[in-house]
Amino acid sequence: MSDVVMPRLSDSMEEGTILKWMKSVGDEVAVGDELVEIETDKANMVYESDAAGTLSEIVAQEGETLPIGEVIARVGEGGGGGAPAAAKKEAAETAGNGGDPEPRAATQAPPAPAPAPESAAASAPPAAGTTGDGRVKASPIARRIAQEKGVDLTALQGSGPGGRIVKADVESAGVDRAQPASHPAAAGREAEEAAGIGSVETAKGQTTYQELSKLQATVARRMAESKATAPHFYLNAEIDMSRAVEARARIKAAAAEGEIVPSFNDMVVKACAIALREHPRANAAYRDGRFELYSRVNVGVAVAGQEALVVPTVFDADLKGLRQIAANVRELAAKVRDGTVIPPELSGGTFTVSNLGMYGIDSFAAVINTPQAGILSVGAISERPVVRDGEITTAHLMAVTLACDHRILYGADGAEFLARIRALLEEPVSLAL
């Protein structure tokens, strides 16, 4: 018998939510078979079995959230038929771990003698929501929430299969306990709010409540932690992109039909990668009271996904040419938008570039993607008047802002790093070297 535990599918994953089981109890499972789809903090992934045999028990039901390492299923030796699996499921249900919706009687048990009148109450079937030994049937997450909220599980009526108490039952009970009994309508609205559904009428109008996805919750938590723990300071610069505009126009004119033409953002990624190689403290992190200096230069590129901001990684960007970076970024952005990006493509970044110039934003200050040392915010390129050699002319200017973690990237270091990025973009021939 092998336990299948909640796997770690990304470097920042702490828990996962079961979305869909690809196999049913009693199915034969081979190593590499798609077993279960799991929602992580970064993406939805199908987990492939690393054990072979018969899926004898599904411990975690669809919709349940469990921490890394918790048992979600069990795989037994193959060829045992359905009876052993059923027996194990019944044993798991008796232990309160969520097997079959209702206990099953043993098929070969001898007939029991008729109970005496005085023992009839003791032999009555268990109440809804309890097992044969009186233990309350509840999902693991329901038990955890009940403990946190001080809710008595024995007083609840479960809405899950076989009267099993699930997360929504406990949350609703917690709302009901806090709501005066004389306001049942208000209690119903609070229950809707707690469940993330429905809407209520307030002084602000019709207010709709929506639960965060695991990705949105992770972004919210990480950004709050970044602003609370990393001492940000900001450096602003204006880069003359006139030569970059000319260079890109020549590249575009010389490109064959269907050939990828690097964007200005691709040039920024390449310039950052070169500068990161030359300034190791910018390609590093402050963690647990020490500096982490990385040998690889992996630049994250912020992309607006369907639900939240996602940062896929261009690995070894300092070693790639502009066209390689352009192709890599386009592939990753497409995966983010159609939801097929996988956690390894979202991990391992050592620095991040965030560009809102395509939305007409002149300048902004992004939040550091901790534990990285900094993030570069890129604004729009616009043609504006400038003074050169005492004469008024025009230039294509782009505002950038470098956010630095002052625990590792100090003022002078950050200024030199940003100056190098500006120099590379103002003489873009160096990007091809």
Q: Could you write out the DSSP letters of every residue in 101-169?
A: SS----TTPPPPPPPPGGGTTTTSPPPTTB-TTSPBPB-HHHHHHHHHHT--GGG----SGGG-B-HHH
Q: Are residues 381 and 304 in the same domain?
A: yes
Q: Do both 292 and 423 map to the same domain?
A: yes
- What's the pLDDT at 108? 44
**198 and 321 part of one domain:** no
285 shares its domain with 366: yes
pLDDT the model gives residue 368? 96
Last residue of a domain, one of 75, 100, 125: 100
Residues 336 and 254 in one domain: yes
Identify the CA nearest to 272 among candidates 346, 220, 345, 329: 329
190 inside domain: yes
Residue 85 lies in a domain: yes
The two most distant CA atoms of the chain are separated, in Å, by: 111
Same domain, 52 and 96: yes
133 falls within a domain? no
Co-location of 283 and 364 in the same domain: yes
Assign residue 244 the CATH number of its domain: 3.30.559.10
Give the CATH number of the domain where residue 94 resides.
2.40.50.100
pTM of the model: 0.63
Cis preceding linkage at 371, omega within 30: yes
Show which residues are catalytic: 406
Q: Is residue 132 part of a domain?
A: no
Q: Within this chain, do residues 306 and 365 fall inside the same structural domain, yes or no? A: yes
Residue 346 lies in a domain: yes
pLDDT value of position 373: 97
What radius of gyration, in Å, describes the C-alpha atoms of the chain?
29
Whether 57 and 172 share a structural domain: no
Domain membership of residue 217 (yes or no) is no
The predicted pLDDT at position 130 comes to 57
pLDDT of residue 115: 45
Q: Which residues of the chain have pLDDT under 50?
A: 79-126, 133, 178-185, 192-196
What the block records as the tokens of 362 is 């002149």
218 domain-assigned: no
Say yes or no: 195 and 249 in one domain: no
pLDDT one-digit tens code per residue, 169-183: 887 776 555 444 444
Domain range for 96: 2-100
- Any domain includes 215: no
Residues 9 and 84 in one domain: yes
Q: How many domains does the structure of the chain reveal?
A: 3
Q: Which of 208, 241, 263 is at the close of a domain?
A: 208
